[in-house]
Structure 1
């Protein structure tokens, strides 16, 4: 082996060693960054109602004619109130997520769709197009106002006693699931849980 070949082999192994050290340092930094980025939960935008407050109690008629009891005591069951609008594009993109969550959490959560819209036909078209049959859908401006709903899509999870367990603006699956997580962990929000951890 000539001197040039030997020198190039040595330089190559040094380069491989330096590259290995750099990859390990980068992997460490990715791990640190991963720990610092906490999951984002549903965003609460107002303070009209707070976690722990008694939720509204009312009986409403769903679009399909069924009577729907909102709030109050429920033996072993919580109630998810999901506020939406037929002209809300984010609401429409969340419908598959909502259907999936309603099925997955059906053992302990009753899901109710709610809106303050007046055009029943438009809401019925939304139910058909988004395949929401089987999930009660109520129209009530009073319900949204009593919970301080100002932006959509918004969700409120009521516990078995009819108290607000968690609430917030929902923009993706993570936000919706954070409501269930917050209730199961007994905190107002995932952010509160992470701050205490």
Structure 2
């Protein structure tokens, strides 16, 4: 009976996390930074109309090899998919295999860039996770100081953001996402370009 209760409680906890995501603590600097961009954040799970979009801030991060990189979506004319995640977050871990497959499908397209921005984990932890899970197609960036989360007002992970080809915030999914949801948002952005 105890094991049944424990199993039920574990299932309910994982279900709640998959819907809500994992959230970190709010320190004073994060709260201040979030307040500056909160009014500019994209509504959950819908494509923001083009006239209402705001510029996406650049992200300072490092590659898995430790090289510094600035991700600035305004410069290259591509649609950017940015998934914010951490290795300790169960919903993040659960969605990563599907996102890796999608990244592989998009890898040869010159109009889309897909980044998985890890928040706070050290490179060794991320490397172990990638080896354990066999993820090979996602471009992983490390943001150990969580500055990208503050810039994008990420309060819960996973959070996935799409930036249109003009470098504007177009879509936000808080919590787990699927390849089908992202493909639908990409198709909607491509349809806009045809108009």
TM-score, length-scaled by structure 2: 0.62
CA distance in 1 between partners of 2:158 and 2:167 (Å) = 21
User: Aligned equivalents of 1:79 and 1:161: distance in 2?
Assistant: 10
Does residue 113 of the first structure (1) align with residue 116 of the second (2)? Answer: yes
Name the residue aligned to 1:180. 186
How many Å separate the matches in 2 of 1:80 and 1:171?
14
1:83 and 2:84 are equivalent in the alignment: yes
- 1:150 is matched with 155
Label 1:157 to 1:172 Cα distance change in 2 as closer, same or farther (>3 A).
closer
Q: Please say if residues 166 and 183 of structure 1, whose CA atoms lie closer than 8 Å, have aligned partners that are also in contact.
A: no
2:116·2:141 contact (CA, 8 Å) conserved in 1?
yes
Alpha-carbon distance in structure 2 between the residues aligned to 1:129 and 1:183: 34
Unpaired runs of 5+ residues, structure 1, are: 1-42, 187-197
Asked if residue 69 in structure 1 is aligned to residue 75 in structure 2, the reply is no
Question: What's 1:161 paired with?
Answer: 166
Tell whether the 8 Å contact from 1:63 to 1:136 is kept in structure 2 after alignment: no
Larger C-alpha radius of gyration, 1 or 2? 1
C-alpha spacing 1:79/1:96, structure 2 compared with 1 (3 Å):
same
Within 2, Cα distance between the matches of 1:162 and 1:148?
17
CA contact (8 A) 2:56 2:74 kept: no
Residue 66 of structure 1: how far off its partner (Å): 4.2
Between the two proteins, the alignment pairs up a number of residues equal to: 143
Instruction: Report if aligned partners of 1:102, 1:109 keep a CA contact under 8 Å in 2.
Output: no
- Quote the offset at 1:48 in angstroms: 4.6
Specify the alignment match of 2:131 in structure 1: 128
Report the alpha carbon displacement of residue 55 of structure 1 after superposing the two structures with TM.
0.5
Report Cα offsets for 1:74-126 as digits up to 9, x if no partner. Answer: 44421111111111222122122101211223312111111221433211211
CA RMSD after TM alignment: 2.6
Q: Structure 1-normalised TM-score?
A: 0.61
How far apart, CA to CA, are the structure 1 residues paired with 2:103 and 2:167?
19
Segments of structure 2 that go 5 or more residues without pairing to the other structure are: 1-19, 21-37, 43-47
Structure 2 match to 1:18: none
